[in-house]
Amino acid sequence: MQCLATDIKGKAPSRRWDCLHARKFSTSPQYPPPDLFKPGSSSFSPSDDRQVDDEVSSKSTFMAPPSAFSTFGASPTLLAEFLSIQPTPLTLNSLLSHAPAPGQVPTTSQLIESAEFTRRELPIRLARRVGGFRSLPFIVGSNPYIQQIARLYSQSFETLARFPEIVDLNDHDNFVSMLESLVEDHAQNVPILARGFLECKKYMDAREVSAFLDAAIHSRIAIRLIAEQHLSIAGLFHDARRAGKTGVMQQEAAWGEDRLSVIGVVDTKLSPARMVKTCAQFVHGLCEGTLGAAPELVLEGDVNSTYIGVPVHLEYVMTELLKNSYRATTERWRERAAARQRSNRFSADPPEPMPPIKVSISKSRNHLSMRIRDQGGGISPKNLPHIFSYAFTTVNSAEDDAGSSGDSGDLEGPYAIQAVGGVVDNGLGEIGASGLLSGLGTLAGLGYGLPMARIYATYFGGGSALDIVSLYGHGCDTFIKLPADPLHFQ
């Protein structure tokens, strides 16, 4: 059975792993055979995590335990136990329920309560991810890249499920050490999964792949929010303890004055203008270093407005959207300049200036809205319906180069070198490093940018949305709407 993941010497899996399995297995059997579970059970629906977070999940009954092999190494009995438990719907209210108020250091009891919530909640969600992988067709679940991530989830589930109750600070320190290790272990989950589904495009419908990935990424966001919220609170507690401070603390010395509004990974006064400037600075350098030029940013509207949100979510969304606009604008400007030079080779007229990227911010009583306007030529009507589909770029690029090293799609321009993360500074860099570098890994040219940006932008609901309007031949307007106060909506 080991040959399903690696060859006998443990070398990297062959690109043509699917040829052998395609001759042996049909695509209809599930991985593993579904008769090990009660027929009709929803325990392993790929959309379970999304349904739970939206409070529309339903109870399901787990029956005959499967073998340890079919659960990717997890104890079947333990997995059955946690699959029978419903996760707590994750909202900003529930995320902050065990955290101190802004400007305060968590007490020991708050710290232990937060750790216990994290210890109880994570294995429930991880169990559902293991179940999600089991719902895949056998040949897809046998893909070495997908199986690698499934086994990683299984191992993390076992580790957390067997961790004893946390009753004192010594237990807590051991828990934090283990949790930090698990967060790091899952750093490259999404790119590895992308590679696996790229190889399995023949065996799953694009809509099924999108449904699975939507649920997996939605669940992953919840898991990481819970884990990193506690790690952030624990870091504040230990920093204050080393400094000999308790209770209310003026945090300028430890975090900087701009962090007084932060509670863990949540900022109660998150400035979209500041985030846009920071992300634009990063993308500008990226675009200029790769394409030799970059447009300027024009920021307008309610630039002093703030809202309650998670900085790393807005960071990812803005980086992805600005990256698209900067690249499209620069490439179109270069094409127009080259065409003009060919038609007027002896003209002494100065070159046409590159149009700027305009970002407008507006805040109403209930929502904060942003518009990104570029003149990058827009999106072809043929491609527009597919821009939020994982399968759009991922599937189309696989067949073009069967001998590629694994980086597919467009590998030139900003996409080729963009490692998501390391964007934010001035107090947010620490959160950015943990939330984006370790949370998303490198997603260069995989076609996952816009679908994931929409998930992050709309995660907490409250009327949130991300939409793109294309004026083909001219440019795009991208609209982001976020709840101004998610605590009120929830």
Helical packing angle, 390-398 and 189-199, nearest 10°: 60
Q: Is the pLDDT of residue 278 over 90?
A: yes
- Regarding beta strands 357-363 and 297-301, do their DSSP bridges make them parallel or antiparallel, or are they unpaired? parallel
CA distance 147 to 141: 6
Per-residue pLDDT tens over the stretch 129-159: 999 999 899 999 999 999 999 999 999 999 9
CA distance 350 to 273: 33
Instruction: Say how many C-beta atoms besides its own lie within 10 A of residue 425's C-beta.
Output: 12
Residue 464: inside a domain: yes
Per-residue pLDDT tens over the stretch 438-457: 233 334 455 788 999 999 99
- CATH of residue 456's domain is 3.30.565.10
- Regarding beta strands 475-483 and 465-471, do their DSSP bridges make them parallel or antiparallel, or are they unpaired? antiparallel
CA distance 252 to 99: 19
- CATH of residue 45's domain is 1.20.140.20
Q: For residues 143 and 63, state if they share a domain.
A: yes
Residue 211, amino acid: A
183, 213, 243 - which closes a domain: 243
243, 275, 299 - which closes a domain: 243
Residue 151: inside a domain: yes
Q: For residues 439 and 469, state if they share a domain.
A: yes
Residue 248: inside a domain: no
Q: Is the pLDDT of residue 486 over 80?
A: no
Q: Is the pLDDT of residue 393 over 70?
A: no
Q: Is the pLDDT of residue 8 over 60?
A: no
Q: For residues 390 and 466, state if they share a domain.
A: yes
If one compares 18 and 327, the residue with the highest pLDDT of the two is: 327
Q: For residues 281 and 340, state if they share a domain.
A: yes
Residue 115: inside a domain: yes
Give me the pLDDT at residue 42, please: 36
Contacts of 218 (CB under 8 A, 6+ apart): 49, 50, 53, 455, 459
Q: Is the pLDDT of residue 241 over 50?
A: yes
CA atoms within 13 Å, Cβ hemisphere of 139: 20
Domains held by the chain: number? 2
Chain mean pLDDT for the chain: 76
Q: For residues 191 and 301, state if they share a domain.
A: no
Rg (CA), the chain: 24
If one compares 70 and 225, the residue with the highest pLDDT of the two is: 225
Q: For residues 212 and 339, state if they share a domain.
A: no
243, 278, 309 - which closes a domain: 243
Q: Comparing 208-212, 310-314, 372-376, 390-394, which segment has the lowest mean pLDDT?
A: 390-394
CA distance 339 to 345: 10
Contacts of 427 (CB under 8 A, 6+ apart): 255, 256, 258, 259
If one compares 47 and 365, the residue with the highest pLDDT of the two is: 365
Q: For residues 276 and 217, state if they share a domain.
A: no
Q: For residues 289 and 384, state if they share a domain.
A: yes
- Report, as an integer, the average pLDDT of 187-199: 89
Give me the pLDDT at residue 441, please: 36
Residue 255: inside a domain: no
Q: For residues 182 and 303, state if they share a domain.
A: no
If one compares 83 and 391, the residue with the highest pLDDT of the two is: 83
Q: Which domain holds residue 315?
A: 265-344+352-489
DSSP class per residue in 219-243: HHHHHHHHHHHHHHHHHHHHHHHHH
Q: For residues 379 and 416, state if they share a domain.
A: yes
Residue 252: inside a domain: no
CA distance 201 to 193: 12
CA distance 117 to 332: 51
CA distance 120 to 110: 15
Residue 339: inside a domain: yes
Q: For residues 393 and 449, state if they share a domain.
A: yes
- Report, as an integer, the average pLDDT of 332-359: 84
Contact in structure between 158 and 74 (CB atoms under 8 Å):
yes
CA distance 390 to 376: 22
Q: Is the pLDDT of residue 205 over 70?
A: yes
Residue 257: inside a domain: no
pLDDT band at 170 (very low <50, low <70, confident <90, very high): very high
CA distance 220 to 93: 19
Alpha carbon separation from 162 to 74, 124, 155, 185 (Å, rounded): 11, 12, 11, 18
> What phi and psi, each to the nearest 5 degrees, are found at residue 128?
-70, -30
- Report, as an integer, the average pLDDT of 83-89: 93
Contact in structure between 379 and 387 (CB atoms under 8 Å):
yes
pTM, 2 dp? 0.76
CA distance 157 to 74: 8
Q: For residues 155 and 223, state if they share a domain.
A: yes
